[in-house]
Amino acid sequence: MDAQQLKIEVGQELTRNILPFWMNRFADPRGGWYGRMDGKGKIWPDAPKGAVLNARILWTFSSAFRLLGDAAYRRAADEACIQVRARFVDPEYGGVVWSVDADGSPLDTRKQFYAIAFAIYGFSEYYRATGEAEALQTAVELYRVVEAHSFDRNQNGYIEARARDWKPIADMRLSEKDRNEARTMNTHLHILEAYTSLYRVWKDISLSERLRNLLRIFVDRIVRPDGHLGLFFDEEWNLRARTVSYGHDIEASWLLPEAAETLGDPALCREVQAVSERIAAAAMEGFTPEGGMINERDPETGRLDANRDWWVQAETVLGCLNQFRTTGVTKWQDAAFREWQFVKSRLRHPDGEWYWAVNEDDSLDTEHDLAGFWKCPYHNGRMCMEILEKSSGKRVLNL
């Protein structure tokens, strides 16, 4: 394996496996995409459809069209834009609803700011790819919604969720496995990601200030002294759990410097890169000898989630490559190559896409979805496109 071979292989993975699966196998003839395909490959045509999944599909095909110019990717991006705009954007209160029925009628109408962030991410990339002014307008409106209803001007940072009409709600959890806390690393990370994408195409001063503030929140509050990210916080920013999420660590290790670079501040880039190196080093505690990155560890209870979920592996490839590009230290490139070999040999599904995970006992996870509310082409598709796009970059790694 070398850098050029990696570029060739991820290009084939993207165009022959990942994107065709979503265009051909998961497309809903009623419009858009189905809500669920289970781990056995069965379509559930009446399953609810989630805002996160559809916004991530919008981002993925917009980015693919921008990068590769294939008209089929443009058609998929156009369809995703139509679906998110028509089904998920709330015309009465603003923002996006969490889910709709299979026929597109509103189902869960709470406003989860994590989901709104992904809508900003998707519409920004669609504008970047197509130049459609309405997409940029929608992204800006959603940004203003987040600032109006999520940003806490007293304690700084962003709260998790509101009701449809922006009133407070008691249960703000993103999913059943999350803690019901006012602030999470995960929502902050993806608001930062969305704001980075929007700032690329809309050089607004207030947005640059909010993006800079998000970086300060990570550097000053979320990144722990040991380099791991704190996951859950109360309203006063007290850490509420010591669980380590290796996937989020390695993902943040490249998203944070990307945000700093987009702002174009050399001093900030140097500071954030130093933090990024600490985060990446901490994340590699979860990197197993056979090449896969395990999910989580709880140092207080001793609980270990040694499954190797699909998204964690994709982010590990990118995080390691980013460290190699910025430091030139070859161990990072070696780790990225080993991780990619693990993905190729273990995670690919024979009918397209990736399995949810390789379990701790080394079996394949066929209990979780192959495509659905949380299983999408965003992590693995983005991994491929990041590598392809940076193949002509001026950094250390020249794919």
Q: DSSP letters of 198-259?
A: HHHH---HHHHHHHHHHHHHIIIIIB-TTSPBP-EE-TT--B----EEHHHHHHHHHHHHHH
Stretch 349-365: mean pLDDT, rounded? 96
What one-character DSSP code corresponds to residue 37? B
How many C-beta neighbours within 10 Å does residue 315 have? 28
Is 351 inside any structural domain? yes
Is 399 inside any structural domain? no
pLDDT of residue 397: 31
Is 397 inside any structural domain? no
pLDDT digits (tens, 9 = 90+) for 1-53: 899 999 999 999 999 999 999 999 999 999 999 999 999 999 999 999 999 99
Chain-centroid distance of CA 301 in Å reads 28
pLDDT of residue 81: 98
Is 286 inside any structural domain? yes
How many C-beta neighbours within 10 Å does residue 270 have? 11
Is 42 inside any structural domain? no
Is 227 inside any structural domain? yes
Stretch 212-240: mean pLDDT, rounded? 97
Stretch 310-334: mean pLDDT, rounded? 97
Stretch 313-342: mean pLDDT, rounded? 97
Is 326 inside any structural domain? yes
Which residue's entry shows tokens 């304690």? 155
pLDDT of residue 232: 96
What is the span of the domain harbouring residue 216? 3-30+48-392
CATH code of residue 61: 1.50.10.10
The structural domain count of the chain equals 1
Kindly report which listed range (135-139, 161-165, 179-183) carries the lowest average pLDDT score: 179-183
Is 192 inside any structural domain? yes
Here the contacts of 336-340 (C-beta below 8 Å, separation 24 or greater) are 336/6, 337/1, 337/6, 338/291, 339/287, 339/291, 339/292, 339/293, 339/313, 340/1, 340/6, 340/9, 340/10
Q: Report the chain's mean pLDDT, rounded to a whole number.
A: 95
Stretch 281-297: mean pLDDT, rounded? 94
Query: Above 50 in pLDDT, residue 162?
Result: yes
